[in-house]
Chain A
Amino acid sequence: AQTVTQSQPEMSVQEAETVTLSCTYDTSESDYYLFWYKQPPSRQMILVIRQEAYKQQNATENRFSVNFQKAAKSFSLKISDSQLGDAAMYFCAYVSGAGSYQLTFGKGTKLSVIP
């Protein structure tokens, strides 16, 4: 079974600064996809960024980028120029490339942005 681990329950960052959230995963599969989701307080879960395991190039979406280290099974999220609206729970998630689209989530990291 696949597992996803987020070792930082809480983090904080100053507005306009850069922060990196960590995620590691364990799998024996070769075909899979990784995601970061954002869940603001009392608001909907939003897909932030996705990464295909077969792609070496790190995904980027505006101020959000990932550092995907496949051999180390590491998938960290970097948020540049942090904004107050970035304050949220961030979840790392894994899905197999075969069969069910079930997501396996980490426990999440609560990010606070300090004005």
Chain B
Amino acid sequence: KAGVTQTPRYLIKTRGQQVTLSCSPISGHRSVSWYQQTPGQGLQFLFEYFSETQRNKGNFPGRFSGRQFSNSRSEMNVSTLELGDSALYLCASSPGAPLGQYFGPGTRLLVL
């Protein structure tokens, strides 16, 4: 099976802009989660979608949003970008809690 894919891999934006990141999960995985990774804060959970429904959300401002489509593909959107949003954004899909999550390569976002 193909792994989790994320597009784009790299992105440079300026403050105030918005950005949309895309994630395609492993075939058959209905759960997609997003994480933000920074050197200072480590890996922080953004949100999880399961069968098009947001099942859980981390402690991030409302500028961060996401959605999942009927084919399980997911997008996350960050509006009004701030310098502190510069990070590696990781998407992961899962077939079930006991089996863990499988990560994509990430999208590296730089906000100038």
Most buried by B among A46, A93, A99, A101: A101
Interface residues of B in 46-62 (CB under 8 A from A): 48, 50, 55-56, 58
Q: Tell me, rounded to whole Å, the shortest Cβ–Cβ distance linking A67 to chain B.
A: 19
In the complex, whether B64 has a CB less than 8 A from a CB of chain A is no
Number of A-B contacts (CB under 8 A): 62
Contact between A35 and B105, CB atoms less than 8 A apart: no
From known contacts A45-B90, A99-B56, A100-B56, infer whether A105 and B100 are also in contact, taking CB-CB under 8 Å. no
Q: Which of B48, B99, B102 contacts A100 (CB 8 A)?
A: B48
Taken residue by residue from 28 to 60, chain B's Cβ proximity to chain A (1 for < 8 Å, 0 otherwise) reads as 000101010000001101001010000110100
Tell me whether A74 is interfacial, beta carbon within 8 Å.
no
Contacts of A107 in B (CB 8 A): 42
Provide the bound-state CA to CA distance between A52 and B102, in Å: 17
Question: Shortest distance in angstroms between B6's beta carbon and chain A's nearest beta carbon?
Answer: 10
**Is B66's CB within 8 Å of the partner chain A?**
no
Minimum CB distance partner of B104 in chain A: A44
Chain A residues positioned under 8 Å from B56 (CB to CB) = 99-100, 102
B45 touches A102 (CB 8 A): yes
Q: Does B103 contact A (CB under 8 A)?
A: yes
What 0/1 pattern do residues 79 to 101 of B give for CB contact below 8 A with A? 00000000000101010111111
Interface residues of A in 77-101 (CB under 8 A from B): 91, 93, 95-97, 99-101
A9 to nearest B CB, angstroms?
11
Counting chain B CB atoms within 10 Å of each CB, the highest count among A33, A50, A93, A102 belongs to A102
A23 CB, min distance to chain B CBs, angstroms: 14
* B106 contacts across to A, CB distance below 8 A: 44
Whether the pair B31, A101 counts as a contact (CB closer than 8 A) is yes
Can you list 29 contacts pairing A with B, beta carbon distance less than 8 Å? A33-B98, A35-B100, A43-B105, A44-B103, A44-B104, A44-B105, A45-B103, A47-B100, A47-B102, A50-B98, A50-B99, A95-B100, A95-B101, A97-B97, A99-B55, A100-B48, A101-B31, A101-B33, A101-B50, A101-B96, A101-B97, A102-B33, A102-B48, A102-B56, A102-B58, A103-B43, A103-B92, A104-B45, A106-B42
